[in-house]
Amino acid sequence: MGSLLRVVVLSLLAAWLGGCADRAVDLRYTPNPAIERLPRAEAITVFRFTDVRGVEGDHGDPFRVGGIYNGDGMRYAKIMTPDPWPDTLTQDLVAGFTQRGVSAVGAPDRMYVEGAMVATPLVLTGEIHNFSTEARWLGLMAHVSGIVRLFGQGGTPLVTKPVSARVRWLPDVKLPPDQPVLEGLLNVAIDEFVTKVVTDPEVTQYLLAVRQ
Protein backbone atom coordinates (compact mmCIF):
# COMPACT_ATOMS: atom_id res chain seq x y z
CA MET A 1 0.00 0.00 0.00
CA GLY A 2 1.41 3.44 -0.92
CA SER A 3 2.29 5.88 1.83
CA LEU A 4 -0.43 8.36 0.83
CA LEU A 5 -3.09 5.65 0.71
CA ARG A 6 -1.96 4.33 4.10
CA VAL A 7 -2.29 7.80 5.62
CA VAL A 8 -5.82 8.12 4.20
CA VAL A 9 -6.83 4.68 5.49
CA LEU A 10 -5.39 5.36 8.94
CA SER A 11 -7.24 8.69 9.06
CA LEU A 12 -10.52 7.03 8.13
CA LEU A 13 -10.00 4.31 10.71
CA ALA A 14 -9.14 6.84 13.40
CA ALA A 15 -12.39 8.64 12.71
CA TRP A 16 -14.45 5.43 12.77
CA LEU A 17 -12.73 4.15 15.92
CA GLY A 18 -13.57 7.30 17.85
CA GLY A 19 -16.35 5.23 19.40
CA CYS A 20 -16.92 1.51 19.58
CA ALA A 21 -20.60 1.49 18.70
CA ASP A 22 -21.72 -0.64 15.79
CA ARG A 23 -22.00 1.10 12.42
CA ALA A 24 -25.02 0.91 10.11
CA VAL A 25 -25.01 0.71 6.31
CA ASP A 26 -27.85 0.59 3.80
CA LEU A 27 -27.83 -1.98 1.02
CA ARG A 28 -28.79 -0.29 -2.24
CA TYR A 29 -28.56 -2.27 -5.48
CA THR A 30 -28.19 -0.21 -8.64
CA PRO A 31 -29.19 -2.15 -11.79
CA ASN A 32 -26.40 -2.20 -14.34
CA PRO A 33 -27.61 -0.39 -17.49
CA ALA A 34 -25.08 -2.37 -19.55
CA ILE A 35 -26.86 -5.68 -18.85
CA GLU A 36 -28.06 -7.01 -22.21
CA ARG A 37 -31.74 -7.88 -22.34
CA LEU A 38 -32.71 -11.32 -23.57
CA PRO A 39 -35.23 -11.41 -26.41
CA ARG A 40 -37.06 -14.25 -24.71
CA ALA A 41 -36.37 -16.35 -21.63
CA GLU A 42 -37.87 -18.86 -19.27
CA ALA A 43 -39.17 -17.59 -15.94
CA ILE A 44 -37.15 -18.18 -12.78
CA THR A 45 -37.78 -18.27 -9.02
CA VAL A 46 -34.98 -16.98 -6.77
CA PHE A 47 -34.92 -18.57 -3.32
CA ARG A 48 -33.07 -17.41 -0.21
CA PHE A 49 -29.35 -18.25 -0.23
CA THR A 50 -27.89 -20.16 2.72
CA ASP A 51 -25.56 -18.17 4.99
CA VAL A 52 -22.35 -20.17 5.47
CA ARG A 53 -20.04 -17.27 6.33
CA GLY A 54 -18.91 -18.91 9.56
CA VAL A 55 -17.57 -16.79 12.42
CA GLU A 56 -17.20 -13.72 10.17
CA GLY A 57 -20.97 -13.75 9.89
CA ASP A 58 -21.41 -14.14 13.64
CA HIS A 59 -22.80 -17.63 13.09
CA GLY A 60 -25.47 -16.62 10.61
CA ASP A 61 -26.48 -13.17 11.87
CA PRO A 62 -28.61 -11.90 8.95
CA PHE A 63 -27.97 -8.26 9.96
CA ARG A 64 -24.17 -8.45 10.23
CA VAL A 65 -22.29 -7.34 7.11
CA GLY A 66 -18.75 -6.67 8.26
CA GLY A 67 -16.56 -5.07 10.88
CA ILE A 68 -13.93 -2.51 11.80
CA TYR A 69 -10.63 -3.93 13.08
CA ASN A 70 -7.38 -2.65 14.55
CA GLY A 71 -3.87 -3.66 13.51
CA ASP A 72 -3.98 -6.78 15.68
CA GLY A 73 -7.21 -8.00 14.10
CA MET A 74 -9.31 -7.06 17.12
CA ARG A 75 -12.81 -6.00 16.14
CA TYR A 76 -13.84 -2.60 17.47
CA ALA A 77 -17.28 -2.50 15.90
CA LYS A 78 -19.65 -4.55 13.80
CA ILE A 79 -21.15 -3.22 10.61
CA MET A 80 -24.88 -3.89 10.51
CA THR A 81 -27.73 -3.40 8.07
CA PRO A 82 -31.32 -2.62 9.13
CA ASP A 83 -32.80 -5.35 6.92
CA PRO A 84 -31.70 -8.99 6.67
CA TRP A 85 -29.12 -9.12 3.88
CA PRO A 86 -30.30 -12.55 2.51
CA ASP A 87 -33.74 -11.03 1.86
CA THR A 88 -32.15 -8.03 0.15
CA LEU A 89 -29.86 -10.20 -1.98
CA THR A 90 -32.83 -12.24 -3.19
CA GLN A 91 -34.66 -9.06 -4.19
CA ASP A 92 -31.54 -7.71 -5.91
CA LEU A 93 -31.17 -10.87 -7.99
CA VAL A 94 -34.85 -10.65 -8.97
CA ALA A 95 -34.26 -7.03 -10.01
CA GLY A 96 -31.20 -8.05 -12.02
CA PHE A 97 -33.07 -10.79 -13.89
CA THR A 98 -36.04 -8.47 -14.45
CA GLN A 99 -33.76 -5.85 -15.99
CA ARG A 100 -32.46 -8.56 -18.29
CA GLY A 101 -36.00 -9.23 -19.51
CA VAL A 102 -36.50 -12.40 -17.46
CA SER A 103 -39.74 -12.94 -15.55
CA ALA A 104 -38.39 -13.48 -12.03
CA VAL A 105 -40.15 -14.26 -8.74
CA GLY A 106 -38.51 -13.94 -5.34
CA ALA A 107 -38.89 -16.24 -2.34
CA PRO A 108 -36.67 -14.45 0.21
CA ASP A 109 -38.27 -16.17 3.20
CA ARG A 110 -37.76 -19.73 1.96
CA MET A 111 -34.89 -22.10 1.28
CA TYR A 112 -35.25 -24.27 -1.80
CA VAL A 113 -35.78 -27.98 -1.18
CA GLU A 114 -34.58 -29.99 -4.16
CA GLY A 115 -37.54 -31.49 -5.98
CA ALA A 116 -40.10 -29.14 -4.44
CA MET A 117 -42.74 -27.98 -6.88
CA VAL A 118 -42.38 -24.42 -8.15
CA ALA A 119 -44.39 -22.47 -10.69
CA THR A 120 -41.42 -21.51 -12.89
CA PRO A 121 -39.28 -23.71 -15.16
CA LEU A 122 -36.07 -22.63 -13.40
CA VAL A 123 -34.94 -22.16 -9.80
CA LEU A 124 -31.93 -20.20 -8.53
CA THR A 125 -30.47 -20.62 -5.06
CA GLY A 126 -27.10 -21.25 -3.47
CA GLU A 127 -24.90 -20.45 -0.51
CA ILE A 128 -23.01 -17.32 0.48
CA HIS A 129 -19.46 -17.64 1.81
CA ASN A 130 -18.64 -13.92 2.04
CA PHE A 131 -20.92 -10.91 2.42
CA SER A 132 -19.04 -8.17 4.20
CA THR A 133 -17.37 -4.78 4.10
CA GLU A 134 -14.35 -4.29 6.34
CA ALA A 135 -11.97 -1.63 7.60
CA ARG A 136 -8.51 -2.92 8.52
CA TRP A 137 -5.09 -1.32 8.80
CA LEU A 138 -4.15 -2.81 5.43
CA GLY A 139 -7.12 -1.27 3.66
CA LEU A 140 -10.85 -1.13 3.09
CA MET A 141 -12.53 -3.92 1.18
CA ALA A 142 -15.90 -5.53 0.43
CA HIS A 143 -16.41 -9.12 -0.66
CA VAL A 144 -19.51 -10.98 -1.81
CA SER A 145 -19.01 -14.58 -2.90
CA GLY A 146 -20.65 -17.98 -2.86
CA ILE A 147 -21.88 -20.96 -4.82
CA VAL A 148 -24.75 -20.39 -7.23
CA ARG A 149 -27.05 -23.33 -8.03
CA LEU A 150 -29.54 -23.45 -10.90
CA PHE A 151 -32.18 -26.18 -10.97
CA GLY A 152 -34.83 -27.28 -13.41
CA GLN A 153 -38.47 -27.28 -12.36
CA GLY A 154 -38.35 -30.89 -11.13
CA GLY A 155 -35.17 -30.35 -9.11
CA THR A 156 -32.69 -31.39 -11.80
CA PRO A 157 -29.30 -29.76 -11.11
CA LEU A 158 -28.27 -27.63 -14.10
CA VAL A 159 -25.50 -25.29 -12.97
CA THR A 160 -23.29 -25.22 -9.87
CA LYS A 161 -20.49 -22.69 -9.85
CA PRO A 162 -18.63 -20.21 -7.65
CA VAL A 163 -19.22 -16.50 -8.14
CA SER A 164 -17.17 -13.80 -6.45
CA ALA A 165 -17.04 -10.00 -6.42
CA ARG A 166 -14.28 -8.27 -4.47
CA VAL A 167 -13.82 -4.48 -4.32
CA ARG A 168 -10.86 -2.81 -2.62
CA TRP A 169 -10.84 0.92 -1.89
CA LEU A 170 -8.25 2.94 -3.81
CA PRO A 171 -8.26 6.68 -4.55
CA ASP A 172 -9.28 6.06 -8.18
CA VAL A 173 -12.13 3.65 -7.38
CA LYS A 174 -15.50 5.17 -8.27
CA LEU A 175 -18.03 4.72 -5.47
CA PRO A 176 -21.59 6.04 -5.18
CA PRO A 177 -21.12 9.73 -4.31
CA ASP A 178 -23.88 9.80 -1.67
CA GLN A 179 -22.63 6.82 0.35
CA PRO A 180 -19.92 6.40 3.03
CA VAL A 181 -16.90 4.43 1.81
CA LEU A 182 -17.66 1.11 3.51
CA GLU A 183 -21.31 1.26 2.46
CA GLY A 184 -20.38 2.19 -1.10
CA LEU A 185 -17.82 -0.63 -1.34
CA LEU A 186 -20.36 -3.23 -0.27
CA ASN A 187 -23.00 -1.93 -2.66
CA VAL A 188 -20.54 -1.98 -5.57
CA ALA A 189 -19.62 -5.58 -4.68
CA ILE A 190 -23.32 -6.53 -4.57
CA ASP A 191 -23.87 -4.90 -7.97
CA GLU A 192 -20.96 -6.87 -9.45
CA PHE A 193 -22.11 -10.14 -7.89
CA VAL A 194 -25.67 -9.75 -9.20
CA THR A 195 -24.43 -8.81 -12.68
CA LYS A 196 -22.14 -11.84 -12.81
CA VAL A 197 -24.99 -14.17 -11.82
CA VAL A 198 -27.69 -12.88 -14.16
CA THR A 199 -25.33 -12.65 -17.16
CA ASP A 200 -23.48 -15.92 -16.54
CA PRO A 201 -23.18 -17.81 -19.86
CA GLU A 202 -24.29 -21.15 -18.40
CA VAL A 203 -27.27 -19.62 -16.62
CA THR A 204 -28.16 -17.75 -19.81
CA GLN A 205 -27.99 -20.97 -21.79
CA TYR A 206 -30.74 -22.49 -19.66
CA LEU A 207 -32.79 -19.30 -19.59
CA LEU A 208 -32.98 -19.57 -23.37
CA ALA A 209 -32.81 -23.37 -23.81
CA VAL A 210 -36.52 -24.21 -24.10
CA ARG A 211 -37.72 -21.36 -26.27
CA GLN A 212 -34.99 -21.25 -28.90
Domain boundaries, the chain: 3-19+39-209
pLDDT digits (tens, 9 = 90+) for 143-175: 999 999 999 988 999 999 999 999 998 766 777
Which of these, 105, 52, 97, lies nearest to 195 by C-alpha position?
97
Contacts of 80 (CB under 8 A, 6+ apart): 22, 23, 24, 25, 63, 64, 65
Reduce the DSSP state of residue 105 to 3 states and report it: strand
Confidence at residue 179, expressed as pLDDT on a 0 to 100 scale = 86
Round to whole Å and give the CA distance between 143 and 163.
Answer: 11
Confidence at residue 212, expressed as pLDDT on a 0 to 100 scale = 38
The domain defined by 3-19+39-209 folds into: Rossmann fold (3.40.50)
What is the percent of the chain where pLDDT is above 90?
62
Q: Are strands 104-107 and 157-168 parallel, antiparallel or unpaired?
A: unpaired
Confidence at residue 68, expressed as pLDDT on a 0 to 100 scale = 87
Mean pLDDT in residue range 99-108: 96
Mean pLDDT in residue range 108-136: 93
Reduce the DSSP state of residue 78 to 3 states and report it: strand
Please spell the DSSP secondary structure of 136-205, one letter per residue. Answer: ETTEEEEEEEEEEEEEETTS-EEEEEEEEEEEE--TT----TTS-HHHHHHHHHHHHHHHHHHT-HHHHH
pLDDT digits (tens, 9 = 90+) for 10-57: 555 555 555 567 889 999 998 888 899 998 899 999 999 999 998 766
Mean pLDDT in residue range 184-203: 96
Round to whole Å and give the CA distance between 27 and 89.
Answer: 9
**Mean pLDDT across the chain, nearest whole number?**
87
Strand partners, 164: 145
Alpha-carbon distances of 110 from 3, 107, 191, 210, rounded to whole Å: 48, 6, 23, 26
Confidence at residue 211, expressed as pLDDT on a 0 to 100 scale = 44
Q: How many CA atoms lie within 13 A of 7 on its CB side?
A: 3
